[in-house]
Amino acid sequence: MTRSESLFQRAKEIIPGGVNSPVRAFKSVGGTPPFIASGKGAWLTDVDGGHYIDYVGSWGPMIVGHAHPAVVAAIQEAAGKGSSFGAPTEAEVQLAEAIIACLPSMEMVRLVNSGTEATMSALRLARAASGRPCIVKFSGCYHGHSDSLLVEAGSGAATFGVPSSPGVSQATAQDTLTLPYNDLPAVEALLAARGAEIAALIVEPVAGNMGCVLPVPGYLSGLRRLCDQYGVLLIFDEVMTGFRVALGGAQALYEVRPDLTTLGKVIGGGLPVGAYGGSKALMQQISPAGPVYQAGTLSGNPLATAAGLATLAIIRQPDFYPTLERRTQRLTQGISRALSQAGIPHLGNHVGSMFGLFFSDQAQIVNFAEAAQSDLQRFNRWFHGMLQEGIYLAPSQFEAGFLSLAHDDTLIDRTIEAAQTVAKQL
């Protein structure tokens, strides 16, 4: 028995599923997840001495690589001065300023501890500001695990939502309406019918939780137009895309200005940070400036803000994004060539340094229903084959992959070679 196997067995006795977040358990791909001992740059090392080139990057935060010296030093320096005070600190002001400098739609920002807190709070603000009860989300988009967002389409998509998890009440679910992603006519029909009840529409501007699915041309600007027409707030959930697909996020890349933005992952540099923000008129309604309550013991704490500031300092260097874009293109094109040479039908895509791969002969995949039709068994063989070759990919078809600054051409070539080997076994 490997150390990971024995640790997993021990963990399952005392932690649900043996993990502290479900996707880590490898349930959809099968097998035992390697227990990680350390990370450095693009590499992970597991407790049995296995080494992997890491394309999960803790699901997005590790854009400058694991244990980046500048990030480690910043955390160490902050830790020596105290890890949390529950009182305002300069670093929180600096991180808020750094975020706002990159996302002009955010005139004000509140720091929280996770993406879930960010989206939950943004929805509360939207309901308060509009006085309307309902929200609209999209199948296949994930916005964290708050009750309102663990809801899927009911029988008639535009009618009542149904809970997607036990423990979410029907009373909560009924205020969440779910539509297919990339379907503007469906949004128009729903807003025409029920716009007066809808506070906000929340969307991943580039979807990373159904695999990587891009907005079709005009989709995001269409959402903006329809939200303006019906007085609905547009929330871009950029927890994954923020500071990932571009320095200004997807809203800069697609030139669509949301009313509220939620952030996470990269802005914490691997420590727990989330954020939500928008116009002053909206954000001044948040306590204690306004009546909408939201709080957090560790929000903006010194270690997390130090890690976030050190990370943002690195990614704001001029050639950071062009370098990552170029390397991600090389990676995805190399993998696609390997699969094509082996005659394997697939769809690969990327936006910035976020990428995806479906095993499908469909011409394009624009929503969750189409993503779900891809060959999940082949994906599992691909996942385990690449893991055997020392390449650590996301253990689910319905996730995205991420590069970091540490993924240099040598590692990308090594990954492509692994893909050439595995493609023959699919």
- Residues serving a catalytic function are 142, 237, 265
Closer residue to ligand KE4, CB minimum distance, 190 or 240: 240
Residues 137 and 114: their CA atoms lie apart, in Å, by: 19
Each residue 257-286 as x (binds ligand KE4 by CB under 6 A) or -, in order, gives -------x---------x------------
Q: Left if phi > 0, otherwise alpha if psi is -120 to 50, otherwise beta: which for 220? A: alpha
Q: What is the DSSP letter of 276?
A: E
Q: Give residues 19-58 in contact with ligand KE4 (rule: CB under 6 A).
A: 21, 23
CB-based closest residue to ligand KE4: 115
* Residue of 340, 358, 362, 341 lying closest to 349 (CA atoms): 358
Give the count of beta carbons closer than 10 Å to the beta carbon of residue 236.
32
Q: What is the DSSP letter of 216?
A: P
Query: Please, what is the Cα angle at 44 between 71 and 60, to 5 degrees?
Result: 60
Span near ligand KE4 by CB under 6 A; candidates 92-100, 232-240, 278-286, 342-350: 232-240
Q: Give residues 178-217 in contact with ligand KE4 (rule: CB under 6 A).
A: 204, 208-209
Closer residue to ligand KE4, CB minimum distance, 111 or 339: 111
Judged by CB under 6 A, does residue 243 bind ligand KE4?
no
Q: How many binding residues for ligand KE4 (CB under 6 A)?
A: 19
| DSSP three-state, residue 228 | helix
Min dist CB 29 to ligand KE4, Å, is: 14
Each residue 114-143 as x (binds ligand KE4 by CB under 6 A) or -, in order, gives xxx--x----------------------xx
Q: Give residues 77-116 in contact with ligand KE4 (rule: CB under 6 A).
A: 114-116
Residue 390 CB-density burial (10 A; 0-12 exposed, 13-18 middle, 19+ buried): middle
Question: Which tokens hold the place of 376?
Answer: 């999940």
Which position among 18, 144, 205, 356 is part of the footprint of ligand KE4 (CB under 6 A)? 144
Closer residue to ligand KE4, CB minimum distance, 209 or 374: 209
Min dist CB 421 to ligand KE4, Å, is: 28
Decide if 190 contacts 158 (C-beta within 8 A).
Answer: yes
Query: What DSSP assignment string belongs to 133-165?
Result: -EEEEETT----S-GGGSEE--SSTTS--EESS
Closer residue to ligand KE4, CB minimum distance, 68 or 137: 137
Closer residue to ligand KE4, CB minimum distance, 41 or 264: 264
Judged by CB under 6 A, does residue 377 bind ligand KE4?
no
Closer residue to ligand KE4, CB minimum distance, 21 or 297: 21
46: amino acid identity, one letter? D
Residues 151 and 169: their CA atoms lie apart, in Å, by: 10
Q: Left if phi > 0, otherwise alpha if psi is -120 to 50, otherwise beta: which for 28? A: alpha
136 bridge partner residues: 177, 201
Min dist CB 210 to ligand KE4, Å, is: 10
Judged by CB under 6 A, does residue 379 bind ligand KE4?
no
Min dist CB 149 to ligand KE4, Å, is: 8
- Applying CB under 6 A, the residues found at the interface with ligand KE4 are 21, 23, 59, 114-116, 119, 142-144, 204, 208-209, 237, 239-240, 264, 274, 399
